Chains A and B, each alone.
Chain A
Amino acid sequence: MNRIFYSFVTAFVLIAAPLRADVDIQEVTSPMGLKAWLVEDHTIPFMALRVGFEGGASLDRPEKRGAVNLMMALLEEGTGDLDARGFAQEVDELAASFSYNATDDSVSVSARMLSENRDQAIALLRGAMTAPNFDQSAIDRVKGQVLSGIQSDLKDPNSIASAAFDLAAFGDHPYGSDTSGTVESVTALTRDDIFKAHRDTMARDRVFISAVGDITAADLGALLDTLLADLPEIGATMPVHVDVSLEPGITVIPYETPQSVALFGHRGIKRDDPDFFAAFVANTILGGGGFESRLMTEVREKRGLTYGVQSYLAPKDHAEMVIGQLASANNRMGAAIDVIKDEWAKIAEVGVTQAELDQAKTYLTGAYPLRFDGNGPIANILVGMQMQRLSTDYVNTRNASVNAVTLEEINRLIKRVYLPDELHFTVVGQPEGL
C-alpha cells in the first residue's frame, strides 16, 4: 500500500505539464485614444471593469495627508441631482456594484454590471467618477467614519506597528505615514482639498483599464469614452523615489496586550530588476507560499511559536523592501525573533537547495493559472500588469521566466536580497527575551 501510494504521487508530479493561464487578452483603443485590455467571455451576462490610476494616496499634498483616501470614499456620495441616498438607490435598482480603493501607489474603481442595463450603470459610474458632488454634509459624515478608523488604529497593535515601521523606513515621504492620514490632518481637510485630490489623482494621463466578461471590443471602446472623457487630461506630478532608512536592530513599542506583533525587513529589489524572478522564487522558499516555507516550518511547525509568519517582496513604485510579519505571545516573541534572524542569516550565507528550488518552481508555475478564476479577479490582474508595464504576452511567458531561474543564479542573487546585518524589527507589545 505504501509503495503504491508513493509511486502514484511521483507519477502525478512528473507528468505535470507547465500550465498556462487560459486567457486571451485583446488590446482595445477607444475612438478618443483610451487604451484598455479586454478578455471577452460571454458565459455569464455581466462584465467586471477595473479602472486604476497610478499615483494614488502618495499624491496627497503637503499637510493634506488623507485627502486622497477621503476623496475616494466620497465618490459614492452623490453626483448631479442625486444625493448619497439617491445614488445608492440607483445602483441598487440596476443591481450593479461599484467599489473604490486608495493605496500608496494607486487609486482604483472596480465595477460589475449586468449586461441588461450596462449603459445605465456606466452613466451612473461616470457621474461618480467625473462629476462627484462632494457635498459638505457627506464630507462631514464620511470624515467621521475615517476619524473613527484612525482612532481605532491608534489602539490596534498591528496598526501601531505599521505606523512606526513605515515612519522609520520612509520618514517624511508619503510612504512614511498611513494613507488615511492623522486625526489632525483629516479634521482640517476642506471641500476644496477634496476637489484638488480628485483632480490630482484621477486623470487620463495615468489611467489603466481592463474589462472582463460579456462585452465586445467595439462596445468597450465606446463605453470608455463615455465613462472617462470628462476627466482632466493631466494630473499631479508623481512622487520621488525614496531610500529605505531603517536602522538594523529591534525597536520595541510598549503596549499592554497578551500577544506581541512584529514587522521586520530592510531595503529590497526593484520589480524591473533582471533578477526579480530569482528573488521572487527565493522569497517563496524563505517565507512566501503556504505552510512549506522555511519560516513557517521553523517557527510554527517545529516550535509552535506562532500561528503565522511570512515574508514578501514589496516593490512599490518609489521604493523597494523585503518585509515580514509575525505574532507571538509576549513571552515567546524573543525566541521567535531569534529563529527568524537565524533563517535570514542561513539563507543569505548558504543559499537554497536544488530540491527547494524545484519545489518552489512547481508551486509557483502551477498556482499562477489558478489566479485567473473569475471575471473580477482577472480584471484586477490585468490592471496590475499594465501598471507594471508588462505586455499582454506576460501571461504566456511568466511561468517560463520562473522556470528559467537556475540554482547558481538564485544563490548568487540571494546575498543581494537578504541582508542579515540590516534586518530591522519593530515589535509592539510587552515582548520578553529580546
Chain B
Amino acid sequence: MRFGLRVAVPVLALLIAPFAVAAETVRWDDQVSSFNLDNGMEVVVIEDHRAPVVVHMLWYRAGAADEKPGVSGVAHFLEHLLFKATDTLESGEFSKTVAANGGSGNAFTSQDYTGYYQRVAADRLELMMQMEADRMVNLKITEADILTEREVIIEERNQRTENDPGALFGEQANAALYLNHPYGVPIIGWRHEMETLGLQDTLAYYEQFYAPNNTVLIVAGDVTPEEVKVLAQRHYGPITANPELPARARPQEPEHNAARRLVFEDARVAQPYVRRSYLAPERDSGDQKTAAALMLGAALLGDGQTSVMTQKLQFEEKSAVYATAFYRGTSLDNTQFTTVVVPVPGVSLREAEDNMDRVIQEFMDGPIDLAHLDRIKRNMRAQEIYAKDNVQGLANKFGRALTAGLTVKDILEWPDVVESVTEADIKAALSKVLEDSLSVTGWLTSDAETVK
C-alpha cells in the first residue's frame, strides 16, 4: 500500500505550477486555455460562443478536509457567510447585485474544495470578478451574522441529513471507513461541533485559505482567454498571495487490517439495503491508469441495465430491486469504491450481501465481456461530444479535478488513459481494492432484530 506517498505529487504540482508558467497562455485545444497570474491564481478558460452567456467560477483549494479538528463544518459555514457584508457591499448585496443583473449564482463546499459561481450575460463578467475578488479578502462578518447563519446551516443539516436515515447511515459508514483521514468527518459538520462554531473559527479558516495562490478561476462560455486575462489581472491581480499557505498534507490512512461492519436502525427506513465501501486509490497527476481501471470496473459491475450486478441480481435471479457499483476517482486523497444492493421483499440483508459477494466473485473469476467493455468505452467517447453542450458541466469537471491535485493536462489526457485500459488492468486494480480488510459493510434497516 502506498497511502503515505499519494499526496506528495499534488502538493508539489501546486507549489511549482504557478511560477513555472506565469502569465503565459497555454491553448490546449480549440476550447480550453489556461494561464496563471503572478500571485499564483490558476485560470482556465473554456470557450463556447453559441450563446452570450458566461459562467464565472472561483474554486478554493480548501474544503472540509482542510479544517482543524474540532470545528467540523467551518468550511461550509464560511461559504454561507461569504454572502454577508464586505468593506464595500452590504450583507446580501452580492446576491442582490447578481440577480439585478439577470444572473444566478450560488456556492458549494466539498471535502477538497469550496466553490462560488455566477451565470450571467457575458457583458457582466467584469462585475462578477470585481465582487468575487472583493470578498476573497474584504469580508466583514459580525457576531449577529454568526448567530443567524449558524441556525441556517443547522436547518440545512436537518434537511439533508437528520431527516434522511439513508444520509445518517452514509455518515456513519464514512466515519467507519476512514480511520484517520478527515474524509470520515461529514462536510456539513457533526451537529455538536456546528452548534459551537464561532466568529474566530470562521475567520481563522478564511485568513488561512482564502488567498489567490489557493484558487482556480474558471470562466466558461462566450469569452476569450485574452479578455479573461485582462479582467482577471485587473481584479484578482492586485490581491497578494498568502506566503503562509500550508501544504495540503492531511492525516493519511494507516494500514487497514480489519473489515468493519455496522447495522443502522431507523424506524423511518422503508427500503432496507446493504452498502459496501472499500478504501480505493484516487486519480493522481501523471498516474491515472489505476483510477481509470477502477472506473471501468465499476461500470462493468454496476452501471446500467447491462451491467453484471444488474443482469444477475435484478434480471436473472430477481433477488434485487436495484444493484449498483460506483467509484469517483477525482479526489485529493484516498477515495472509495462502493457497491449497493437493494433486495426485493422477502430477501434478507444477509442474503442480499451474500448474493452481492457471489456475483462480484464470479465476475473476478471469469473473463471480462470484451464487447461490454467496448460499449462502455465507446459511450465515454460519445460523452465527450455531449459534454460540449453543457459548458457549466465542463467547468465543474475542471474545477473538481484541479482542486484534487490534477492538472489541465491530466484532465485532457483522461479519455486516452481510459481508452488504454485493458481487461487485465481492470482485474488487477479491482483485486487490490476488493479486499475485506479495506471494507466497511453496512446494513440499513427499520428493525435490527429481524435482520440478524
A residues with a Cβ closer than 8 A to B are: 1-2, 5-6, 8-9, 12-13, 16, 19, 22, 41, 43-46, 48, 76, 84-85, 88-89, 92-93, 95, 97, 112, 114, 141, 144-145, 148, 151-157, 256-259, 261, 289-292, 297, 300-308, 327-329, 332, 359, 362-370, 372-376
State whether A367 and B102 are in contact (beta carbons under 8 Å apart), knowing that A5-B88, A114-B382, A304-B150 are contacts in the complex.
yes
C-alpha gap A301/B144 in the complex (Å): 11
List the B side residues contacting A327 at CB < 8 Å: 155, 158-159, 163
List the B side residues contacting A307 at CB < 8 Å: 152-153, 155-156, 158-159
A159 nearest CB neighbor, chain B only: B270
Q: Which segment, of B66-74, B204-212, B314-322, B405-413, faces chain A?
A: B314-322
A77 nearest CB neighbor, chain B only: B305
> B130 and A8: CB pair below 8 A?
yes
Contact partner of B159 (CB less than 8 A), chosen from A88, A148, A259, is A259
Sample of 21 A–B contacts (CB below 8 Å): A9-B97, A16-B101, A16-B102, A19-B121, A22-B51, A22-B52, A44-B385, A44-B388, A48-B389, A85-B311, A88-B306, A141-B318, A144-B321, A290-B99, A290-B105, A301-B148, A307-B152, A359-B100, A363-B99, A363-B102, A373-B391
Contact partner of A144 (CB less than 8 A), chosen from B105, B344, B383, is B344
A153 nearest CB neighbor, chain B only: B270
> B385 and A45: CB pair below 8 A?
yes
State whether A151 and B156 are in contact (beta carbons under 8 Å apart), knowing that A46-B389, A304-B151 are contacts in the complex.
no
> B99 and A258: CB pair below 8 A?
no
Q: Does B375 contact A (CB under 8 A)?
A: yes
C-alpha gap A367/B87 in the complex (Å): 28
B138 smallest CB distance to A (angstroms) = 10
> A304 and B147: CB pair below 8 A?
yes
Q: B88-135: which residues lie under 8 A (CB-CB) from chain A?
A: 88, 91-92, 95-106, 119-121, 124, 126-127, 130, 134
> B99 and A359: CB pair below 8 A?
yes
- 7 interchain residue pairs of minimum CB distance: A366-B102, A304-B151, A95-B382, A88-B305, A259-B158, A307-B156, A304-B148
> A305 and B155: CB pair below 8 A?
yes
Contact partner of A148 (CB less than 8 A), chosen from B127, B162, B321, is B321
> B100 and A362: CB pair below 8 A?
yes
B383 smallest CB distance to A (angstroms) = 8
B residues with a Cβ closer than 8 A to A are: 50-53, 83, 87-88, 91-92, 95-106, 119-121, 124, 126-127, 130, 134, 147-156, 158-159, 162-163, 267-271, 304-306, 311, 314-315, 318, 321-322, 342, 344, 375-376, 378-379, 381-383, 385-386, 388-392
C-alpha gap A144/B342 in the complex (Å): 11
List the B side residues contacting A16 at CB < 8 Å: 101-102, 121, 124
> B104 and A367: CB pair below 8 A?
yes
B444 smallest CB distance to A (angstroms) = 12
B304 nearest CB neighbor, chain A only: A88
> A304 and B152: CB pair below 8 A?
yes
> A92 and B379: CB pair below 8 A?
yes
B411 smallest CB distance to A (angstroms) = 19
State whether A306 and B148 are in contact (beta carbons under 8 Å apart), knowing that A12-B124, A92-B379 are contacts in the complex.
no
C-alpha gap A85/B381 in the complex (Å): 22
> B52 and A369: CB pair below 8 A?
yes
C-alpha gap A303/B149 in the complex (Å): 8
Known: A151-B270, A329-B154. 8 other contacts (CB 8 A): A2-B88, A16-B124, A85-B311, A89-B375, A154-B270, A304-B152, A366-B103, A373-B53
> A308 and B385: CB pair below 8 A?
no
List the A side residues contacting B381 at CB < 8 Å: 95
> A5 and B147: CB pair below 8 A?
no
Question: Most chain-A CB neighbours within 10 Å: which of B51, B88, B130, B383?
Answer: B51
> B315 and A84: CB pair below 8 A?
yes
> A306 and B155: CB pair below 8 A?
yes
B273 smallest CB distance to A (angstroms) = 10
> B270 and A114: CB pair below 8 A?
no
List the A side residues contacting B390 at CB < 8 Å: 373-374, 376
